[in-house]
Amino acid sequence: AQSVAQPEDQVNVAEGNPLTVKCTYSVSGNPYLFWYVQYPNRGLQFLLKYITGDNLVKGSYGFEAEFNKSQTSFHLKKPSALVSDSALYFCAALAGDSSYKLIFGSGTRLLVRP
């Protein structure tokens, strides 16, 4: 079965420190991968995507993600965390069939302390 895993329910980091939110995937074919962020009682906002090309993808608000095919991972990173980055982060992958639907991970709550 196709799936996306986010092994950490919560990540805690001090403001100014680098952050990493982990994601691994299991989909057929070439993966199309996404990161979204959600603030309380809001919809999801798109951060970045990997389709093809450079393994390091840059996105909104200073976030970036590194695609690693051998490890089937797509970890989200930011060099210097802000308190305002505190939110719920979702990794998603395009299902490897003929339909266009995203499979989401369970989400990781990022808490950045001042």
Partner 1 sequence: DGGITQSPKYLFRKEGQNVTLSCEQNLNHDAMYWYRQDPGQGLRLIYYSQIVNDFQKGDIAEGYSVSREKKESFPLTVTSAQKNPTAFYLCASTQLGSSGASNTGELFFGEGSRLTVL
Residues at the site binding partner 1, with contacts judged by CB under 8 A: 6, 9, 32, 34, 36, 41-46, 49, 51, 90, 94, 98-102, 104-107
Contacts of 78 (CB under 8 A, 6+ apart): 18, 19, 61, 62, 63, 64, 85
Residue closer to partner 1, measured from CB, 2 or 15: 2
Residue closer to partner 1, measured from CB, 15 or 96: 96
CB of 43 to partner 1, least distance (A): 4
Residue closer to partner 1, measured from CB, 82 or 88: 88
CB of 89 to partner 1, least distance (A): 11
Contacts 24+ apart (CB under 8 A), 26-29: 26/1, 26/2, 26/72, 27/2, 27/3, 27/93, 27/94, 27/95, 27/96, 27/103, 28/2, 28/96, 28/97, 29/96
DSSP summary character for residue 61 = G
CB of 14 to partner 1, least distance (A): 25
Residue closer to partner 1, measured from CB, 12 or 60: 60
CB of 16 to partner 1, least distance (A): 29
